[in-house]
Structure 1
Amino acid sequence: MSAACISRRNLPFLFLLYLLCLFFVANSDELQVLLNIKTALSNSNTNIFDSWESNNSICNFAGIACNLDGSVKEIELSKQHLTGLVPFDSICELQSLEKLSLGKNLLYGHVTEDLNMCVGLKYLDLGFNFFSGSFPDISSMNGLVYLYANASGFSGTFPWNSLENMTGLVGLSLGDNPFDRTPFPKELVKLTKLNWIYLTNCSIEGQIPKEIGNLSELIELELSQNYISGEIPVEITKLGKLWQLELYENNLTGTLPVGFGKLTSLEMFDASYNHLYGDLSELRFLNQLVSLQLAHNQFSGEIPQELGEFKRLVNVSLYGNNLKGSLPQKLGSWANFDFIDVSENFLTGPIPPEMCKKGTMTQLLMLQNNFTGGIPASYANCTTLTRFRVSKNSLTGVVPSGIWGLPNAEIIDIAMNELEGPITSDIEYAKSLAQLIVSNNRLSGKLPPEISKSSALILIDLGNNQFSGEIPTTIGELKQLSSLHLEDNILSGSIPVSLGFCGSLSDINMAHNSLSGEIPSSLGSLPALNSLNLSDNQLSGRIPARMSSLKLSLLDLTNNRLTGPIPKSLSVGAYNGSFAGNDGLCSKNIKYIRRCSSESGRSGKLNTLIVCFTMGAMAMLVSLGCFLYLKKSQKHHERSWKEDSWDVKSFHLLSFTEEEILDSVKQENLIGKGGSGNVYKVVLANGKQLAVKHIWNSHHSSSRKKLGSTTPMLTKRGGKSREFDAEVQTLSSIRHVNVVKLYCSITSEDSSLLVYEYLPNGSLWDRLHTNRKMVLDWETRYDIALGAAKGLEYLHHGCERPVIHRDVKSSNILLDEFLKPRIADFGLAKIDQANVSKDSTHVIAGTYGYIAPEYGYTIKVNEKSDVYSFGVVLMELVTGKRPIEPEYGENKDILNWVCSKMTSKESVLSLVDSTIPEAYKEEAIKVLKIAILCTSRLPVLRPTMRTVVHMLEDAEPCKLVGIKVTKDGGSEKDELRDKQQKI
């Protein structure tokens, strides 16, 4: 046989050998690419890379899928806790790669133009990471079907034109990134295969284009938290497949477009927090609705009765509109109904009785309407309810007994109605109840002793009812009780001694009852008590001497039958008027109270002579002082500021005068300077120390008035400054042990002064970072963290309207003589109100290093921004580092630095301040993990301050002495520690 024949016979074999060579060469190249990825990215929580070894087939690598020829088709590495810089230049060498999924990791750095080399990609997921810089041009990826890059830290201008030729694009998710403001991208309305658009919170402005109607395949359209204005275009009614429409927190106006009812596939509709108006008649056709959210608009008219027949509807939120008429009586009776909030409208008629028919309802919120009739008995069996609020209506009848015992209810609020009946013993089953608010009704009967079994109670407000009988002696078992209001009832008997065991009590009001007996001395041991009103009762006996230790902002014992001397510490000007109507009381200091009898005979005469001599001497001194003062005033009239007319507004009972404050505001008493003014230390004649803050306004540099060589220059104001108004508005109504106390404001045409309690240990910043630095042990740091958290929790959850501080930082956490913290400096604070315009809240306020990322790209700044800043403070406490340090690197802060160290247990422990003993480092890491949760990039992922307090309480440090040690050497808290090892 010839050589030519042999060659032809072997051609298939040689060709196969050639293909095998190419296969092995290609696999060798792809193996190297994957090993490069493994080297670049690290993780400590999963074993995803364990199989990525050179002696293993790449198709057996975890997260890798191959084509039939063995080439890499898919990389699936999402949710693997990966960190590092992604080597896109290497990845794009994988010629057959169609899917690259890196979402929900801790990846960072810039995404370079190398990504554009992945021309074969059909699926790209970079979402939920920590990238920086602009998103690159990806115009070469014409075959892309899914693009996910939401919540990844990209900024700048997104290259919308690079999407123009991606005609096969089906899913697009770019939301929650701080992009530059841009009009609605017209490129999108040409991509007619799109079925999901997620562009929430990415700075889109202008109007929704009419061409949106061309996207007939759309199933989900989410455009919330942007700057979109104008009306909802009528063309949106063409989107017959639309399942979810999210438009909340924009500036939309107008009515729901005619034909909106054609969207019969719509299940989720949220257009809350806009300026929409008109009626809701178009909704009557949307019988597939599951969730309807239209809160805080200006809708009027009646709620369509057809909603009562919607068999899938589970959520209804229509609060803060102008709706009238009655609710459909079958509303919520068909499906597993969850919640309703129709508060702050003008609704009438009865409460629909069957919203908890399926036993799944969690919230019933109907505050501030005109509902009539009784509370339906069916809700007494709704054990899933967590919030039951029907206050400020016209409800009548007896409250069903089971309402009092709802086991999961955190708040029962039926105040300001005409409801009747007793609080029943069922309340012992209300184990989750924190707030019981039933004031201003016609409730009656005795208070059940079983109320003490509701051990989570923080607030009890039973005021202005017809409750009778004695206050249960078991009330002292409520260890978390903070506020107790029983005023304006017909309660009798004595005040229980056990009340003094409620160590968290800060506010007690029992005025206008028929209480008798003595005031229990145990009240004097309540460390947090701030307000005590026992007026208009029949209390007798002496005022307990132990009450002298209380630091009360309000004390009212008027119109009782008290006798004996008023304790010396209470016989001060601060409590003038607190004792009137008690003929048996006497005092040596209070003028309108009869004087206590003194010894007779010589000693009495001698005392009289001494008093007369003293008064005469004082009169001479006063006269001399007045003469000198008048002489000096005439000589230096141009430098006098006391002649101004001063307006004093007190927020607590005062033990000082405005003159004492004005005399002390001088250069030698200056203790601090800030962006809004100076702070002075004032020492009163009685030794009490105060801090006085003068807030500058924008004109202080050009119109100041000299006050002499020892007096600071005060502002010539044409009206109060914004900082002054914010601070007074916020602090004047706040009563909390962890929020700085504002005694009063003193204002004139020329100046504004705020008078605070003085905190001798300065700020947390001072104690951690400056020349006033001190070694703080871990237990002290923990106590500071928990106390500050409780102060913020009160601001967010304990006020009638949430107070957003907006400048939480360690220098605004002040420390008293025992290093207990106070939240201070409310010059940037905002009280959350429904009618505040969005522009007014879109101000980048705060301090670099503490500012939450959403300040740069959203108009919705809420309590979660404070949570972020507090997370930074927690990191300071754990690490001892400043928020910004050179060692973090350029454009890096403490959060980046901490995250970069989360690679191994050793590196994590190295984050803890070296001054903290080894025995406490594990405890400190618990708090660090809470800090990381608080500083999540997405506000929705951050816990509330209430949750932060609970987490910190769970992270209470073990005591080095007294821990019960098990046989294997562990402690009883090891299990809790193990549960918190993972973030």
Structure 2
Amino acid sequence: MSLFPILPLLLLCLLAGGTAADTELQILLNLKSSLKISTTTPGFESWSSDHSPCNFSGIVCDSTGSVTEINLNGKGFHGTIPFQSVCQLTSLSKLALGSNNLTGDVTADIHNCTKLQHLDLAFNFLTGNVPDLSPLTGLRILNLSMNTFSGQFPWDSLGNLTDLVALRLGDNGGLDPSPFPESVRNLTKLSSLYLSVLNLNGEIPSWIGDLTALVDLEFADNKISGVIPPEISKLRNLYQLEIYNNSLTGEIPAGFGNLSNLVFLDASQNQLSGNLSEIRFLTKLVSLQLFMNGFSGEVPQELGEFRELVNLSLYTNQLSGELPEKLGSWAKFNFIDVSTNSFTGKIPPDMCRQGTMLKLLMLENKFSGEIPASYGNCTTLERFRVNNNSLSGEIPAGIWSLPNVNIIDLTTNNFEGQIDSGIGKAGSLHQLFIASNQFTGKIPPEIAGASSLVSIDVSFNQFSGSIPEGIGELKQLASIDLENNLISGPIPDSLGGCTALSSVNLRKNSISGPIPASIGQLPNLNFLDLSDNKLSGQIPASLVSLKLSSLNLSNNQLEGEVPAAISIPVFNESFIGNPGLCSYDVDFLRQCSSEPESSPARFHTLLVCLLVACAILLVSLTLITISRKRKSDGHNHPKLSWDVKSFRKLTVNENTIIDSIKPENLIGKGGSGNVYRAAVGNGIIVAVKHIPLRPDPEDRGTAAMLGEKRINGSREFDAEVTTLSAIRHVNVVKLYCSVTCEEASLLVYEYLPNGSLWDRLHTCEGEKLGLDWEARVEIALGAARGLEYLHHGCDRPILHRDVKSSNILLDEQFKPRIADFGLARILRSGGGGRDSFSSHVVAGTYGYIAPEYAYTWKVNEKSDVYSFGVVLMELVTGKRPIEPMYGEGKDIVNWVAEELASEGSVIKLVDKKIPEWAKDEALKVLRIAVLCTMKLPAMRPTMRTVVHLLEEVAFGRVIIRLDFKNGSDNKVESRFSVEEKGDEFLNSM
């Protein structure tokens, strides 16, 4: 047969094949453009028209040259996914674009990817509704977790995907609430089911036991209630079960012990009860997390024989009995936390046998006996807390000198003996708490070598000797408490070198000698108690420069005149029991003796009295003039009556405050009033906010249009007083007092000399002075801690509603204070969650207002988180929230998002004033800012998490993941604590 008749056919086939290859090449080049891939991107030089698609990195082809796989996971790409073109790859079976920074929607064009078996779009910023997935019947792996999807998920469409082996949809908290999806029961081939943080409710269905192929089952952080069904015991292949932070009740069901292959079990933070008898059969456990439930009874002794167990958290239950003696002695044990139970007996001795233990947390139980000597050699320990037990004996010497320990807490036991001199080698020790024991001997001078110490509490012991002179070497020391010991000798002058000190308590000792003047040089000192000692001499004049909220010098042998600045009613009881003291102002102290009539002092006193009389006369004439002027204007106002209410220890004269309200003293304009500078005597400067309680008649038209935001000065005043009068936090501005009358109110605050963060970042004068990166990080962290306190540290959460850089004020050392609480609201708390606040007036400042105001009047703490995220963007970029360069109707959040999605380097977002070495850190802070400004409130972290993330940047640690939960000692644990997830966070309690 001749070949000539079939040549055209062969040629046609070749042309058709070339066309298909060209089409696939063009599709991939289109994908390259959408994902902002450049030919200069390392590893992607091959992505050009000069190469075959099968030679592109991340691309796999079949034997015919057709593209079957696109695997670009974790490449850090930005941009959107062109589903319409990608799904024209007719042989495509795998599309993996996870762990990038992709945005946009998953469009309905995904339906055309009918041959897909593997779809991974996890850990991106994809938005919108997930389309119907039922056409993708060949899918074996579907991973859409950790995105920002919204609306109703198409649960019903999953029922057709019966070949699914892995279904991972978790961490999409913006989806509409839904019961546990019924369609999943058809997916009998599933080995991995990840449905955590999906807003699921209802109960765990009994058919869960039919998914017998499951190896990994996770539906944590939802609102699932009811009991754990006994059918779950059919899942004999389960390796990991994560069901924490729901509302589950009842007992661990009978037969649960059949899950003999279980390695990771976390059912913490529920309302489970009953005993742990079923756990004794789970011999392969590596991590057991059952904390914050209602379990009772004893820990099964079989746990002492578990050869793989390295993590055990049972804190905050009602467990009792003794722990197994061999607990943790077989594997490389990581931590134990059995705090807040009723355990008795001894501490298991061998949990650090393998030399890997990080945390020993057994506080608030009834443990007895001595601390096993073996823990003195556990050099890996970071946290050692056994406080509030019935332990006794001496502390093994090695514990005092553990090189990595952050906290030693032995408070409220029956320990005796001495602090070993090796404590000077504890270079990582931040907190030493050994109060309420029977320790004796001297505080060793070597303690000065523990240079990281922040808090020392050795109160209520029997320590003797003197305070070590080297105490001044502890530059990070913030609090020292030596109350109720036998300490003698003088207060070392070097104590004034501990410039971070905020609290000093030396009460009830035998300390003698004078009060060192150097104490008055401590810039942060807020609490000073030297009472019930044998101190003598005069009260140093330097103490008047301190900003004390508490002072107690009573029951000593002090003499001389009490300095006028602290001779104030609120400190009256601070001086009792000192017969040698005198004062002109404190009633129960003897009056200081007057000088002879002809003496210069007497003349000086007369001169002062004369000047005061003249001042009173001048004020009276001024008030008469004002009154006459008002009458001549046709107004018959009543005489103003000023009411002064004090909230902190500061004596002020209302006339001094009132007289400060004049243009030359104006230092700022807040959201609810102007702020003035006022000198109140003794070198003390305060800030005074003037809040009009009635609208200006000239502004009635504007006031009517702006509603309560403009005219309700009284509401803003009440909000600020209610909020700030009860708050005591180093990063929230101090409110000293209020001065009110019928027409206006004045709030007297501490004066912050370095102005606001806005001034430093955005004004010409501030930009000239500059703000280095270290200061920016400290400001971010301090402000975050202030907001964390408002949201999490108060009896009821406080919503600020006007977080912005101009409301973050800076003191002499650039430590930040959250200010201006005129829009604050105290939220209700009940039903196990935080309520929201409903406002029909948009509160806040344009550029900082969270987007939920656009579609709901209900706001909560996450609105403050959004505003704080904008502040972080200001700190990193140096840009204002609103700039013309962003484009019409856009703000800094839009701009940052667009720049991150662009092809250019993200380094260009960082303020040019930030040095090169710090730019990587700056980008980490910017990443936190992006999380804070997520469009959906549910996707934003809490302020507590924000603080932890910023601490990682500040302390040079690596951010691993954003998935945290609180431990019993108020610190943070990663979800899979058994794995190395980076350094733990230190909480200063």
Tell me the TM-score normalised to structure 1 length. 0.81
Q: Give the aligned partner of residue 28 of structure 1.
A: 22
Task: Work out the CA distance in 2 between the residues paired with 1:643 and 1:226.
Answer: 53
Instruction: Name the SS for the 1:468 alignment partner.
Output: coil
User: Is this contact kept in 2: 1:135–1:159, CA < 8 A?
Assistant: yes
> Is 2:267 the partner of 1:271?
yes
Instruction: Tell me which residue corresponds to 2:896.
Output: 898
Tell me, what secondary structure is at the counterpart of 1:316? strand
In 2, Cα distance between equivalents of 1:622 and 1:904 = 67
8 A contact 1:796–1:802 mirrored in 2? no
Write the distance in 2 (CA, Å) between the matches of 1:844 and 1:289. 47
* C-alpha deviation, 1:512, in angstroms: 1.2
Q: Distance in 1 between matches of 2:222 and 2:79?
A: 31
Q: 1:889 and 1:574, CA in 2 relative to 1: closer, same or farther beyond 3 A?
A: same
> 1:60 aligned to 50, 55, 65, which one?
55
Question: How do residues 174-573 of structure 1 correspond to structure 2 at under 5 angstroms?
Answer: 174-177=169-172, 178-573=174-569
Secondary structure of 2:304's match?
helix
1:935 deviation in Å? 3.2
Deviations 1:597-616 (A, max 9, x none): 45436237964993897699
Structure 2 counterpart of 1:689 = 686
1:149-193 deviations in whole A, cap 9, x for unaligned?
111222121112222211101111111112111222111111111
1:207-257 CA distances to partner (integer Å, 9 max, x unpaired)?
222222221111111111112122222222222212211111122222222
User: Equivalent residue for 1:160?
Assistant: 155
CA 1:902/1:248 → structure 2, altered by over 3 Å: closer, same or farther? Answer: same
Describe the SS at the equivalent of 1:532.
strand
**Counterpart residue type for residue 318 of structure 2:** N
Query: How far apart are the structure 2 equivalents of 1:856 and 1:426?
Result: 61
Residue number in structure 2 paired with 1:757: 750
CA distance in 2, matches of 1:581, 1:949: 46
Q: What do the CA deviations read for 1:418-473 (whole angstroms, capped 9, x no partner)? A: 11111101212211111111111111111111111111111111111111111111
Of the structure 1 ranges 656-665 and 802-811, higher mean CA displacement relative to structure 2 is found in 656-665
Match of 1:126 in 2: 121
Q: Secondary structure at the match of 1:217?
A: coil
Give the CA deviation at 1:639.
Answer: 8.0
Give, in whole Å, the separation in 2 of the partners of 1:164 and 1:317. Answer: 37
Quote the residue 1:959 is aligned against. Answer: none
Question: Which of the numbers 65, 69, 77 marks the counterpart of 1:70?
Answer: 65
Task: Indicate how the Cα distance of structure 1 residues 906 and 566 shifts in structure 2: closer, same or farther if over 3 A, else same.
Answer: farther
8 A Cα contact 1:415 1:441, kept in partner? yes
Q: Residue type of the partner of 1:427?
A: I
| Aligned-pair CA distance for 1:911 | 3.3
Distance in 1 of aligned mates of 2:53 and 2:779: 53
Q: Is structure 2 residue 108 aligned with structure 1 residue 113?
A: yes
Match of 2:733 in 1: 740
Shift of 1:381: 1.3
Question: Conserved in 1, the CA contact under 8 Å of 2:87 and 2:112?
Answer: yes
Q: Quick one: distance in 1 between partners of 2:94 and 2:805?
A: 45
**Residue pairs, 1:696-845, within 5 angstroms:** 727-729=724-726, 731-732=727-728, 734=729, 736=730, 738-743=731-736, 756-759=749-752, 763-765=756-758, 775-777=766-768, 779-780=770-771, 782=773, 785-792=776-783, 807=800, 808-816=803-811, 821-824=816-819, 837-840=831-834
Aligned equivalents of 1:602 and 1:74: distance in 2? Answer: 104
Task: Please provide the CA RMSD for this pair.
Answer: 4.7
Question: Is contact 1:801-1:831 (8 Å) kept?
Answer: no
Q: Which residue does 2:980 correspond to in 1?
A: none
Alignment partner of 1:466: what SS? coil
Change (3 A) 1:240 1:620: closer
Question: Structure 2 matches for 1:141-160, cutoff 5 A?
Answer: 141-160=136-155
* Contact map agreement 2:392 2:415 (CA 8 A) in 1: yes
Most deviating of 60-69 and 229-238: 229-238
Deviates more, 1:872-881 or 1:356-365: 872-881
CA distance in 1, matches of 2:446, 2:18: 79
Distance 2:746 2:599 in 1: 47
Indicate how the Cα distance of structure 1 residues 37 and 790 shifts in structure 2: closer, same or farther if over 3 A, else same.
closer
Could you report, residue by residue, the CA deviation over 1:684-725 in whole angstroms, capped at 9, with x for unpaired residues?
A: 8647534469899xxxxxxxxxxxxxxx978699xx999876
Contact kept? 2:790, 2:798, Cα under 8 Å: no
**Which residue of the partner structure matches residue 975 of structure 1?**
none
CA distance in 1, matches of 2:303, 2:411: 28
Quick one: percent identity of the two aligned structures?
50
Q: 1:413 to 1:35 in 2, by over 3 A?
A: same
Give the aligned residue type for 2:170: G
How far does the alpha carbon of each residue in 1:123-149 deviate from its partner, in whole angstroms, 9 at most, with x for none?
011111112211222221110110111
1: CA distance, partners of 2:853 / 2:318: 31
Q: Give CA-to-partner distance per residue, 1:762-783, whole Å, 9 cap, x none.
A: 64346656xx885434743646
Q: Can you list the C-alpha shifts for 1:349-379, whole angstroms capped at 9, x where unaligned?
A: 2222222222211111112122222222221
**Kindly tell me: are residues 615 and 70 of structure 1, through their superposed partners in 2, closer, same or farther at Cα, counting changes over 3 Å?**
closer
Task: Choose from 890, 900, 924 the match for 1:930.
Answer: 924
Distance 1:952 1:893, change over 3 A: farther
Closer/same/farther in 2, CA of residues 513 and 790 from structure 1, 3 Å limit: farther
* Deviation string, structure 1 residues 927-966 (Cα, Å, up to 9, x no partner): 53132232364778997636635745779xxxxxxxxxxx
> CA 1:448 to 1:244, structure 2 compared with 1: closer, same or farther past 3 Å?
same
* Residue identity in the other structure for 2:924: I
**Paired residues of 1:726 and 1:827 also in contact (CA < 8 A):** no
Aligned match of 1:709: none
- The one-letter amino acid of 1:507's match is S
Give the Cα separation in 1 of the matches to 2:784 and 2:430.
14
Task: Quote the offset at 1:416 in angstroms.
Answer: 1.3
Q: Secondary structure at the match of 2:70?
A: strand
Q: Secondary structure at the match of 2:22?
A: helix
What is the deviation of 1:590? 3.8
TM-score scaled by length of structure 2: 0.81
Distance 1:829 1:713, change over 3 A: closer
Aligned CA distance change for structure 1 residues 714 and 186 (closer, same or farther; 3 Å): same
Residue type matched to 1:181 in 2?
P
Change (3 A) 1:250 1:585: same
- CA shift digits 1:307-346 (9 cap, x unpaired): 2222222111121222222222222122211111121222
- Taking a change above 3 Å as real, the CA distance of residues 657 and 340 of structure 1, as seen in their structure-2 partners, is farther
Aligned-pair distance for 1:666?
13
Where does residue 705 of structure 1 map in the other structure?
Answer: none
Point out where structure 2 has 5 or more consecutive residues left out of the alignment: 629-634, 694-710, 932-938, 958-989
CA distance in 1, matches of 2:153, 2:551: 61
Contact (CA 8 Å) 1:85, 1:109: kept in 2 or not?
Answer: yes
Give the count of matched residue pairs: 913
1:877 paired residue number: 875
Query: Does the 8 Å CA contact 2:431/2:453 hold for their aligned counterparts?
Result: yes
Distance, in Å, in 2 between the alignment partners of 1:162 and 1:761 is 59
* Corresponding letter in the other structure for 1:294: L
CA distance in 2, matches of 1:514, 1:404: 26
What SS does the aligned partner of 1:81 have? Answer: coil
Partners of 2:325 and 2:822 in 1: how far apart? 48
Spell out, residue by residue over 1:377-413, the C-alpha distance to the aligned partner (whole angstroms, 9 max, x if none): 2211111111111111121111111111111111111
Q: Distance in 1 between matches of 2:887 and 2:181?
A: 36
Mean CA deviation greater in 41-50 or 883-892? 883-892
